[in-house]
Amino acid sequence: MSEKKKILTITDAEWEVMRVAWATKETTSKEVTDILNEKTEWKSTTVKTLLSRLVDKGMLGTTRKGNKFIYFPLVEERKSIEVLSKEILTKVCSKKVGNVLESIINESQLSFEDIDALESLLKEKRKSAVESVPCNCIKGQCQCHIAR
């Protein structure tokens, strides 16, 4: 399975576990259970199931250290976030991508540094901007083809 396909199979619950693995670099099922205890009521058996699914999916590696198992990420956090955010944009008409980005930015709290980075990115994007973005949908999945 490609890295992208692996990432797209992760459930919301598995994502919570991945975040711990990314933050800690290597972790144990006890540590994941303790950390997630703050926002979930998952029992250690639940966490163990999630960890083993992530190992099966190739998202986590595991190795034995003494009498316990250590888990570590096999796919980078940055890559995973990139795949997920691109995935959102494949779900809408390409004409609406601008709107989606606008609402994401609108709902986000940003630092001055973030805004500087976005401003220079947009400036760069202006150089290859088009008059009107072409629709990429099949007929009937967006209003572009419907003349009424």
Residues forming contacts to Zn ion in the complex (CB under 5 A) are 93, 135, 137, 142, 144
Name the 3-class secondary structure at 25: coil
Least distance in angstroms from the C-beta of 93 to Zn ion: 3
Distance CA 75, CA 91 (A): 24
Nearer to Zn ion, 84 or 144 (CB): 144
Nearer to Zn ion, 81 or 88 (CB): 88
Contact criterion met (CB below 8 Å) for 49 and 32: no
- Give 144's contacts (C-beta < 8 A, 6+ positions apart): 93, 95, 135, 137
Nearer to Zn ion, 105 or 133 (CB): 133
Give backbone dihedrals phi and psi of 101, rounded to 5 degrees, phi first.
Answer: -60, -40
Least distance in angstroms from the C-beta of 146 to Zn ion: 10
Nearer to Zn ion, 55 or 137 (CB): 137
Least distance in angstroms from the C-beta of 142 to Zn ion: 3
